[in-house]
Amino acid sequence: MREKKFATKSVHFTEKEISKNRSKSKPIYQTSAFVFQDLDDMESFYRGEKEYLYTRYGNPNSDDLGKGVASLEQAEDGVATSAGMSAILVALLALLEKGDHLIAANDLYGGTYQLLAEELPKLGIDVSFVPFQEREVVKRAIRKETKVLYSETVTNPLLRVEDIHQVVELGKEHGLSTVIDNTFATPYFVQPLTCGVDVVVHSATKYIGGHSDVTAGVVVGSAEIIQQVRQKVATLGCNLSPFEAWLASRGLKTLALRMERQGENAQALATFFADHPGVSQVFYPTTVSKRGNGAIVTIRLAEKVEAATFFESLDWVKIAPTLAGVETTVSYPIQTSHRTVPESLRQELGIDKQLVRISVGIEDIEDIMAAFDKAIKKAGS
């Protein structure tokens, strides 16, 4: 059978409803548990004959989301979690144990940095942060206890495009597992598992859901690894609620359309900023994929532009600590996403008071440009 194209798969990842009602939309299984006819019927779950027992262990809606993202990522299986952070946690705990060592890129999302730097060491897992763009530096950080290499497809907020092939090559050379956060790129632009990555994580709160109305995460990979991840989800209570899973699955159906429009808008906005006297530096990748380069644009305001006034003058553009909804929003990394990152590292990376991260929406690009032009000019006058 001919394999479906990406946009078709993103709409038709849900299995057809086979109950007598044959609902066109997947029903919401808003239940904490599933019932059985008798004790033998209940035991059939543990024999692997029935899929569901208790929603913490699994639910048709959360399974729908996990398997849907897995399909788009060309993975064998996937599991949904309560948030992007829990997706990262359970993925790493499935691969690491006390005494192991993790090497992570030093320019990650601030929340991820905090998890790796503060929480994993409490579990006896050592973590080293190094610049992944310097292969020899990464190589020197590897030791006999090292088990995992961790990075992001496109880093937050400076939008460095990871050389995934190099990470995979280094991992295979030293027998290490590779984990990539694909939140910014989404499977529309990049599918890291096709490059040899072992595990991909998503904050489905962002582009997978796409409408800023759900908090969720997804982990995808081989069936063997995901089985281990699924066990961690159940044991730690990191499962996603049925309704939120349903919302995220609904959002996933329009991923291709949203990313196409938002990517085009972001490209145009980055070009606009390149010649703007109120912007001293534009961060927007050019090598993400043939389909485009994502929907995030980060800028460094010129010194003459007062950041607080800029944010106050944005009119209809919302200030938010997150990203990826259909509406254009802005965030201030130094005060939100990277607030907990050590100041020395922020300075080293260039995350300063003039840095602004823009999540570009689906509005008319002329309106987006006009809103930022007005705010920059007002803040720089």
Per the structure, the count of domains in the chain is: 2
Q: Mark whether 152 and 235 lie in a shared domain.
A: yes
- Check which CATH number belongs to the domain holding 237 and give it: 3.40.640.10
Q: Among 252, 276, 305, where does a domain finish? A: 252
Residues 285, 302: Cα–Cα separation, whole Å: 20
Q: Mark whether 109 and 214 lie in a shared domain.
A: yes
Phi/psi region, residue 292 (left: phi>0; alpha: psi -120 to 50; beta: rest), is left
Q: Mark whether 75 and 192 lie in a shared domain.
A: yes
Q: Mark whether 264 and 245 lie in a shared domain.
A: no
- Check which CATH number belongs to the domain holding 275 and give it: 3.90.1150.10
Q: Mark whether 211 and 132 lie in a shared domain.
A: yes
How are strands ordered across the β-sheet holding 296-301?
279-283, 296-301, 355-359, 329-331, 318-319
> 304 lies in a domain?
yes
Q: Mark whether 184 and 55 lie in a shared domain.
A: yes
- Can you read off the two tokens belonging to residue 365? 């690009």
For residue 143, the tally of other CB atoms under 10 A from its CB is 11
* pLDDT in the model for residue 20: 67
Q: Among 252, 278, 293, where does a domain finish? A: 252
211 φ, ψ (degrees, to nearest 5): -130, 15
Q: Mark whether 282 and 245 lie in a shared domain.
A: no
> Please, where are the H alpha helices in the chain?
6-11, 39-46, 60-72, 84-95, 110-114, 135-141, 164-174, 186-189, 223-236, 242-252, 255-274, 307-312, 343-349, 365-380
> 1 lies in a domain?
no
* 223-236 helix and 84-95 helix, angle to the nearest 10 degrees: 120
**Is the Cβ–Cβ distance between 137 and 131 less than 8 Å?**
yes
- β-pairing verdict for 217-221 and 355-359: unpaired
* pLDDT in the model for residue 381: 75
**Is the Cβ–Cβ distance between 322 and 206 less than 8 Å?**
yes
Residues 215, 206: Cα–Cα separation, whole Å: 8
Q: Mark whether 100 and 185 lie in a shared domain.
A: yes
Q: Mark whether 36 and 153 lie in a shared domain.
A: yes
Q: Mark whether 168 and 282 lie in a shared domain.
A: no
Question: Cα angle vertex 335, ends 330, 340, to 5°?
Answer: 130
> 129 lies in a domain?
yes
157 φ, ψ (degrees, to nearest 5): -110, 5
Q: Among 252, 269, 301, where does a domain finish? A: 252
- Bridge partners for 199 per DSSP: 179, 221
Residues 193, 199: Cα–Cα separation, whole Å: 7
> 229 lies in a domain?
yes
Rg over alpha carbons for the chain, rounded to the nearest Å, is 21
> 173 lies in a domain?
yes
Quick check: helix, strand or coil at residue 153? Answer: coil
**Is the Cβ–Cβ distance between 339 and 242 less than 8 Å?**
no
Domain membership of residue 284 as a residue range: 255-380
- Can you read off the two tokens belonging to residue 118? 């503060």
- Can you read off the two tokens belonging to residue 253? 């159906």
- Bridge partners for 11 per DSSP: none
* pLDDT in the model for residue 198: 98
Q: Mark whether 261 and 238 lie in a shared domain.
A: no
For every one of its 381 residues, what pLDDT tens digit does the chain have, with 9 covering 90 and above? Answer: 678 899 999 888 877 665 667 788 889 999 999 999 999 999 999 998 989 999 999 999 999 999 999 999 999 999 999 999 999 999 999 999 999 999 999 999 999 999 999 999 999 999 999 999 999 999 999 999 999 999 999 999 999 999 999 999 999 999 999 999 999 999 999 999 999 999 999 999 999 999 999 999 999 999 999 999 999 999 999 999 999 999 999 999 999 999 999 999 999 999 999 999 999 999 999 999 999 999 999 999 999 999 999 999 999 999 999 999 999 999 999 998 898 888 999 999 999 999 999 999 999 999 999 999 999 999 997
Q: What dihedral do alpha carbons 65, 71, 72, 77 form, nearest 10°?
A: 70
Q: Mark whether 270 and 231 lie in a shared domain.
A: no
